[in-house]
Structure 1
């Protein structure tokens, strides 16, 4: 049986894990490795990629910076989150604001330390990234358009760290990144619709607050149709193996998304849409292996 003190420590651990969105960071780590293996360095042996210490340090630097980003975001949004997500916020509040700041600086310090193993340029890259996350959380996220765009850019930056490391400038990488950027942009706008009540109370000037739900839905519809461009290019122009199944599935999911979007009137409806977009992103991560399934089987066997 756990003592009361042990239970309290365990709850604090789960609280911190909730704040840094540990499950999201795990998916990003997997995505970085799969992207490196199948898109950025497909010519390299699997062992060479998996046991590349420089790549590991870049992935750890990304994970630490992202963890710090979630913490500082939680720090600034504590009052808003209490309105939008009361149950989760009660768990997160087990970690005090002072502890959050301490953890924030520790994670950022670790990120720079990991990056320093690779190169000075990596240190500069992640230092700018850390500053960008802080500036977004402190100032930019409260404003329409620029807040959404910045959030989407910050979400794809960790992939550019490994992209720059492998010096792979193939056009297909930018098309994949464009698709990811558009879906993340849609997710950010849906989150604004989902958090409309808290944003109004805390004077956040998001797109739904300033322009209303109908304009936000029109923008999401426009972004949905924009995703057709990278999807069609990837299916018809580039060699993506069996990953075309994923993109056909994404087309179907986005069709469902649009139907539900225009029927949505409550927060729970936007939560469903948010979950759907998140599922598209996560499914995309694990679908990367379909780019060259034969190579995957050969590597396993």
Structure 2
């Protein structure tokens, strides 16, 4: 596929491509997760209408969404050649959207995200600028490095919850636990995605864990991460003496155990894709436990 020879693009193609480029579904999930965290963990729950109407919460969440969208754009901008091999049907930049337009949209969204953060708090602004900087270096350089790229994405996933505590300090300990949960499951999924995309990554000189270590050793690494994931969750639940959380985490051992089983049996791109989707389901189930936390 030659992205330089763009087909005639209709308005419908442009809109559909733009929605796919910024991962609209993921952005909606980010916003909903932040609002659920604000209502269910920070609270008070009975004031949910006031929380939804809170302009500072709206600006904070919108700033996160803008920065995440900008991150998706710049990631695809730098990954065109790799995506042609791994996901040719999903290439947008250079096909439906000119590269300079993509870069312009990236810059506008970042400025908007930083400005909205400043409306909420100088500290939120600083966290947003830090996130913008990390996303740029991740896409431009670190994504192709073993582990560090995975770590950055996972760290920013946890930040999307922790940033709420910068302006809303209540129940920080609970928010921190769910941020750690998000970090670990995101880290596992990012490494699995590297196993899924090993063909295109290797063809373009990337040095991801599956390429450097091989699939077998990368699986061993994931088993260690999964063990640390479970131990950390129960340790934090025990420190807080929160029996409800401990029981909820016990229930999550069922899908986590299934993930370990699937991982041990998987060797193909299709199977790794299934594990990646299973990580999404575990993330969703984990966030649903906020209802009882």
The TM-score normalised by the length of structure 1 is 0.87
Structure 1 residues 97 and 249 mapped into 2: Cα distance closer, same or farther (>3 Å)?
farther
Q: Give unpaired runs (5+ residues) of structure 1.
A: 1-6, 292-301
Tell me how far apart the structure 1 counterparts of residues 175 and 197 of structure 2 sit (CA, whole Å): 33
Residue correspondences, number: 284
- Indicate which of 25, 30, 33 corresponds to 2:35: 33
Q: Which residue of 1 aligns with 2:4?
A: none
Name the counterpart of 1:22: 24
Q: Which residue of structure 1 lines up, in the alignment, with residue 276 of structure 2?
A: 274
Shift of 1:281: 1.1
> What is the CA deviation profile of residues 19-64 of structure 1, one whole-angstrom value per residue up to 9, with x for unaligned ones?
1111011011010011111112337722231111111100000000
SS in 1 for 2:84: helix
Against the structure 1 CA distance between its residues 30 and 92, is the aligned structure 2 distance closer, same or farther, given a 3 Å change threshold?
farther
Change (3 A) 1:153 1:78: same
Q: What per-residue deviation string (whole Å, max 9, x for no partner) do you get for residues 108-161 of structure 1? A: 121122123213333222122111110111111111122211111122222122
Q: Does 2:286 match 1:284?
A: yes
Q: 1:86 to 1:43 in 2, by over 3 A?
A: closer
Q: 1:254 maps to which residue?
A: 256
Cα shift readout 1:159-182 (whole Å, capped 9, x = no counterpart): 122111112364333222222211
After TM superposition, list the pairs within 5 Å mapping 1:223-234 onto structure 2: 223-233=225-235
Unaligned segments of structure 2, at least 5 residues: 1-8
Q: Matches of 1:88 and 1:31 in 2, distance apart?
A: 26
User: Cα offset for 1:92?
Assistant: 7.8
Paired residue for 1:11? 13
Instruction: Give the whole-Å Cα distance in 2 for the aligned partners of 1:177 and 1:240.
Output: 19
Deviation at 1:232, TM superposition (A): 2.6
CA-based RMSD of the aligned residues comes to: 2.2
Tell me the distance in 2 between the aligned counterparts of 1:169 and 1:39: 7
2:60 pairs with 1:66: no
Paired residue for 2:195? Answer: 193
Give me the whole-angstrom Cα distance separating, in 2, the residues matched to 1:93 and 1:73: 15
Q: Say which of 102, 105, 108 aligns to 1:106.
A: 108
Give, in whole Å, the separation in 2 of the partners of 1:24 and 1:286.
Answer: 16
CA distance in 2, matches of 1:143, 1:95: 27
CA drift of 1:256 comes to 1.1
| 1:82 aligned residue (76, 81, 84) | 84
1:245, 1:16 → 2: CA distance?
42
Partner of 2:3: none
Question: Cα–Cα, structure 1 residues 28 and 246, in superposed 2: closer, same or farther, change >3 Å?
Answer: farther
Q: Secondary structure at the match of 2:18?
A: helix
Residue equivalent to 1:3: none
Q: 1:248, 1:82 → 2: CA distance?
A: 41
